[in-house]
Amino acid sequence: MPRLSFEDFEPGAVTTYGSYLVTREEIIAFASQYDPQPMHLDEAAAAGTLLGGLGSSGWHTCSMLMRMLYDNVLADSTGMGSGGIDEVKWKRPVRPGDRLSVRQTVLDARPSSRGDRGYVRFRFEVLNQAGEVVMEQTNSIIFGVARPEAA
């Protein structure tokens, strides 16, 4: 049996997890493949941009969140996927050497009319090592219920 199911997510619950070290090489590799803007590829070019130095693509930061979410929640859950992302806000640059973690808040949990699953709406805040929020994301995830026959 998976450790986490729909019933385990109580509105208002806050959980922290993850420890993801961001490297210069990873920032550049991701940007080279998916977001080749100067501020994500080269320190000298990035110095004159809005970021004021080399920084991770926001999409890379979303991917790092997904990795931590999978490793700490989804891998051992009844998670069935998501219908999409409601909102993403990139608040601060993510730099080489930053160590990221996640603060997860359950905003809402509602059962599906099907009875075998429910929808959990989360706010995910990605934090750097100084505790500063670098990204916020809000979305729902579908989880199976622990005992569908009891629903």
The pLDDT value given to residue 149: 62
Report the percentage of the chain scoring pLDDT > 70.
97
The pLDDT tens digits for 69-107 are 999 999 999 999 999 999 999 999 999 999 999 999 999
Its sign, for the CA torsion 142, 144, 146, 148, is positive
- 3-state DSSP call for residue 22? coil
The pLDDT value given to residue 1: 80
- Is the CB of residue 122 less than 8 Å from the CB of residue 105? yes
The pLDDT value given to residue 148: 65
Query: Which regions in the chain score pLDDT beneath 50?
Result: 151
